Every structure is written in C-alpha cells, then in structure tokens.
Amino acid sequence: MWLECIECHHKFDIASRFYTCPKCGGLLEVELDLGALRKKLRKRDLNSRPPSVWKYRDFIPVMDDSKIVSLNEGGTPLIRCDRLGKEIGIRELYVKFEGANPTGSFKDRGMTVGVTKALELGVKTVACASTGNTSASLAAYAARAGLRCIVILPKGKVALGKLAQALIYGAKVVAINGNFDEALIMVRKLCEQRGDIYLLNSLNPFRLQGQKSIGYEIADQLSWKIPDKVVVPMGNCANIWAIYKGFFEFDATGITKGIPQMVGVQASGASPIVEAIKQGLETFEPVEKPETIATAIRIGNPVNGPKAIRAIRSSGGTAESVSDREIIKAQKLLAQLEGIGVEPASASTIAGLRKLVRQREVKRDDVVVCVTTGHLLKDPEEAIKVAGPSKWAGRVKS
C-alpha cells in the first residue's frame, strides 16, 4: 500500500505524515495492492465475520491491530422503503441509515481509522474544524483513545445536539466568527505549525479509508449485488468519493461486479460541485457565503471537491441541488412514511432523488440506495420547528 497524489500521481510511503502532495499540493489517496487482495480474499472470508467497519480489515491501511480504536461502528441498517419508494416513484428503494453509528453519524467510520492512525504515529493531540458531526465523532474517539482533542467551530452555526457531544466528550472547543471554510484554514495552520497535533478533517486520506466501508456494506447487505444508483449528500465531499472507492475496490478484487452510478446532492445555497457537474467543468468555483438549513453540508469550498467530481464522472453519475423547502419536505416524508428520523443534510438525498425521478434521470426500475448520514437528534430544534402542530387535538383526562 502507498499514498498517491490524484493530480500528479507521485507515490509516497504509507507512513508519510502529510495531508496533501508535497510536490503539487494535490489531494492524496491511499492505494492498495488490489491484485494481491484478489488472490487471497474470498466472499466466504467476509461472510464469517460480524458486521462492523473492521469486518473489512483487509482493505484498511492499519499496520498495528493493537492500536485499533473502536466503538463498534458500522453494521448500520440498510432499510427497504416501499412506502417512500411508491411516493417517489421507485420500485426498489433503500435507505442506508448511518445515524445508527455510535455518535449518530457516518463520521465514526472515518474516525475509527483516523484515530487509530494517530496512535500509530504516536501523537497525543488530534484536531478538526467542523460543522458539528466531525467534532462530535472525533471528540468521542479521542476520549476512547486517551488523546487530547481540539475542535474549531463556526460560532452560532452548529446544531446544539452536535455541540453538546463535543463538549461532553471533553474536547477543547473554540468558536470563531466565520464559516466552516475559515475554520478549516485555521486548524490546518495550527497543525502545520505544531507537529504534535494530528489533523483529522477529511483532508486526511486515512479517514476516508474508514468511510469507504459504507460501499462495502451496501454490497454485502444486498447479497453481493450492486445497486444502480447510490445517492449521497455532499458537504466537504469526502463521503461520495470514499463510497465510490469502496465499490471500486470490491469490483477490482472480484468480490462484486460493477460500480453503481454515484449521485451527489447539495443544498442550493451551497452547491459548487453540482454547478461544476452540470456545466461540464473539471474544477469548481467556491461559494463565498454558503447558506442552508442543512448545517452539515453548509460548505462553500469543499476540500474534497476534486475527488467528488471524479467519483461522479468515473461512475457515470450525476449531481443535483435542492432547496431548503425540498429538504424539509423530504425529511418529513422519510420520518412519517418509514419511521426513519434523520437530520436535514441526510434528507437532501431523498429530496434529490425525488427531483431526479421527476426529471426522468432516475428510472422507476432502478435499484437506488440513499445514504442518510446523521440522526434526527443531531438537530432536534430544527425537527421541532419544521414538524408543525400535532394533528391530534384531543384531551387527556388526569
């Protein structure tokens, strides 16, 4: 295994400790010897292991198993949603409910690997910028590992459920007058100036190595079959690339055959990748002041944007933006038709799918998986605000 720049394709030792290519500044990706894995790994090997991120240990670039930091992340439900599918116009629709992870979001998949790598490197402090879920997850895994944790957040723009998690897990939380993109610049500078602090935003290529297990798990839960389309919310854009990479690696090693079309969804107030895809561009123009009710994807300059564009284009997929009104409607539909409660960013996938079905870019007979990335209780204030008054007006006698 090795690190490789996605731009200039220079290769670096897997033990290197930098976050971007020192040659050209491009994003780094962990590459595995998939030919060797193909020779030694069989589906029956995976079938015998219990559900978790670490079920797919063969694909995870960790050297020392004794350093693994886990809260039993992964193994989240893949729920067939027939009532919602009928409402939208899809015959076979599934929701991958990542809210069932230990801290309530998909970020735990990345942090189990990222914090394990921090222990392998011998650092004592980890840090991140966050819109909420990253901070909650990193704080929990740092506590589990006995590491110090620093979190930089945009002041007044993080849902209280997520902020409460970061605080109770013991992170040092710093609020700044700015947005997420400015927070990320600040934490990157901190980690560059202080060699003893390890950055665990998705700029870190090892974090994505845990998140790609979503792709493995979808295939596993569909009895090793590949869906036609996988719909993913895009904030900092690491997840759509990671999930694509999971399917790619399974295909390359013969575990499964084929790669689904990757569909990325952004809020209309923060949709630079959608605009790039629709205009046929290879690069994207950042949104200076991103705004949306979906705080988890309120990011105007996604650091992994180049990877997202590659994942969508390489898989023959597409991208779509949705309004806050469409997000809220989708959030209610998923909750009231299927009993699945998700935060607004997660509901963007349902909203995006509805739009694409109406535009006939998704066919009725397509097998579709919508990835919902965070639990409803991440942002309970928003849920109460948009739910509206109770429909039942009866009185209870004391």
Co-location of 114 and 96 in the same domain: no
The 3-state DSSP class for residue 96 equals strand
In a domain, 398, yes or no: no
* Co-location of 215 and 158 in the same domain: no
How many structural domains comprise the chain? 2
Query: Do 142 and 240 fall within a single domain?
Result: no
Residue 337 and residue 252 share a domain: yes
Write the CB contacts of 122 (distance below 8 Å, at least 6 apart in sequence).
none
Q: Are residues 315 and 359 in the same domain?
A: yes
Residues 149, 88, single domain; the answer is no
- From 204, 226, 250, the end of a domain falls on 204
Long-range contacts of 173-181 (CB under 8 A, 24+ apart): 173/135, 174/150, 176/152, 178/154, 179/154, 179/289, 179/290, 179/298, 179/300, 180/129, 180/130, 180/131, 180/154, 180/236, 180/290, 180/298, 180/299, 181/286, 181/290, 181/299, 181/300, 181/301
| Run of H or E residues at 12 | strand 11-12
Q: What is the rounded CA–CA span in Å between residue 372 and residue 341?
A: 9
Q: Does 274 share its domain with 216?
A: yes
Q: In the prediction, which pLDDT does 389 show?
A: 75
Which domain, by its residues, includes 349?
78-105+207-385
User: Phi and psi (nearest 5°) for 230?
Assistant: -125, 120
**Contacts with 15 (C-beta within 8 Å, 6 or more apart), sequence order:** none
pTM of the predicted protein model: 0.96
Has residue 18 been placed in a domain?
no
281: in domain: yes
Is residue 48 domain-resident?
no
Whether 191 is in a domain gets the answer yes
Residue corresponding to tokens 């735990």: 108
List, in sequence order, every residue forming a beta bridge with 174; answer none if it has no partner: 152
Each of the 398 residues of the chain gets a pLDDT tens digit; together they read 999 999 999 999 999 989 999 999 999 999 999 999 999 998 888 999 999 999 999 999 999 999 999 999 999 999 999 999 999 999 999 999 999 999 999 999 999 999 999 999 999 999 999 999 999 999 999 999 999 999 999 998 898 999 999 999 999 999 999 999 999 999 999 998 888 999 999 999 999 999 999 999 999 999 999 999 999 999 999 999 999 999 999 999 999 999 999 999 999 999 999 999 999 999 999 999 999 999 999 999 999 999 999 999 999 999 999 999 999 999 999 999 999 999 999 999 999 999 999 999 999 999 999 999 999 999 999 999 988 776 665 565 65
pLDDT value of residue 394 = 59
Distance CA 148, CA 146 (A): 7
Same domain, 377 and 332: yes
Examine the domain organization and report whether 214 and 195 are in the same domain.
Answer: no
Contacts of 192 (CB under 8 A, 6+ apart): none
The closest of 309, 377, 304 to 27, measured between CA atoms, is 304
User: Is 85 within a domain?
Assistant: yes
Rounded-to-integer distance, Cα 345 and Cα 284, Å: 21
- Using the 3D structure, point to which of 204, 239, 263 is the last residue of a domain: 204
The letter for the amino acid at 320 is E
Q: What is the distance between the alpha carbons of residues 357 and 371, in angstroms, rounded to a whole number?
A: 17
Do 246 and 372 fall into the same domain? yes
The DSSP bridge partners found for residue 2 are 31
197 in a domain, yes or no? yes
pLDDT at position 374 is 97
Q: Return the CATH number at 136.
A: 3.40.50.1100
Residue 5 lies in a domain: no
Based on the fold, state whether residues 216 and 173 are members of the same structural domain: no
18-25 contacts, C-beta under 8 A, 24 or more apart: 19/188, 19/191, 19/199, 19/203, 19/204, 19/205, 20/203
* Residues 138 and 230 reside in one and the same domain: no
In the listed set 204, 235, 250, which residue is the last one of a domain according to the structure? Answer: 204
